[in-house]
Amino acid sequence: MDRFDGRRALITGAGSGIGRATAHRILAEGGRVVAVDVDEAGLAATAERAAADGTAGRLETARLDIADEAAVRSGTAAAVDRLGGLDVLVNAAGILRSAHTHATTLEFFERIVSVNLTGTFLMIREALPALLAGRAPVIVNFSSTSASFAHPYMAAYAASKGGIQAMTHAIAAEYSRQGLRAVCVAPGSIASNMTTGRGPGLPEDADMSLFTKLVPALGQGFAGPETVAGVIAMLASEDGAFITGTEIRIDGGTHM
C-alpha cells in the first residue's frame, strides 16, 4: 500500500514513541519524511530502523526544539527546503508531567504549555505557507484523553491538550476553503516513553483510586505506538479526505 507515494511529511517527536512509529509507517507507505526531535540519540535510532527497513533514502532527521521560536522558524524552513514542499505536518512532540495542582509552580505549568500547546502552534504557523501550497495538505495534532476525561494530577497537561484540541477546530475552519484539513488524535492507554514505569511521574502519594478507569476494554494492557501511527496514516492520506475539524480517541475503550 503506497498511500504516501510522492507525499512529503514533517513529523515532530519522531525520536521515540508514536512520533517514531508514525515516521516509519509513512515511510513504509512510500512517503518522504523529515523527522525532528530534541533527542538526537532517539533520531539516530529512528534512522537506524529506517536503514534496516530499506526506507532510509526517503528519511532525513534534524534536532529541533519546538518550544524555541527561532529554531522552529529555521528548522521548518530547512525541512520544507529538503522536501521540496510540504503536504503533511504531524505534531507528535510533547511532554507529560504530573503534580498535585496545589503544588504546581508557574514554571512547571508554563513549561508544559510552552512545549505542548505553544510548540504545536509555532510548528503550524511556520508550516502553513508550505502546506497551503502542497497537495491535499493535512495537519495532524496530538490531543489526549486527558482533554476530555479526568486525569488527576495532570491539570497542566490536560490544559495544554485541551488547547490543542480547540486550536485544531479553529484552524480546520479557517483554512477549509483552501483545501487544508486539520485533525486531532487523542491517544490513551498507549505504551510509550511517556507511560512506562510510573508513567508521567505521578506524586509518590498519588491516590490511584482516583483513576477510575485504567484498563482498555479491548485486549490486554496498553497498545503499542504503532496503533496510533496507523490511524494517523489513515487521517493524513486520501482515506481521511472527508475528516477535518475533529478528534479521534484511540484508547481501546478505556474511556467508554
> What single DSSP character describes residue 115?
I
Burial letters 6-15, b for 16+ CB under 10 A, else e: ebbbbbbbbb
Is 10:36 a contact under the CB 8 Å cutoff?
yes
CA gap 199, 44 in Å, rounded:
24
> What single DSSP character describes residue 190?
B
CA gap 1, 122 in Å, rounded:
32
175 is catalytic: no
Report the run of H or E that residue 53 belongs to, with start and end. Answer: helix 40-53
Is 16:39 a contact under the CB 8 Å cutoff?
yes
CA gap 174, 195 in Å, rounded:
34
* Grid cell for residue 166: 480547540
Q: Which of 157, 160, 175, 180 is catalytic?
A: 157
Would you name the residues annotated as active-site residues? Answer: 157
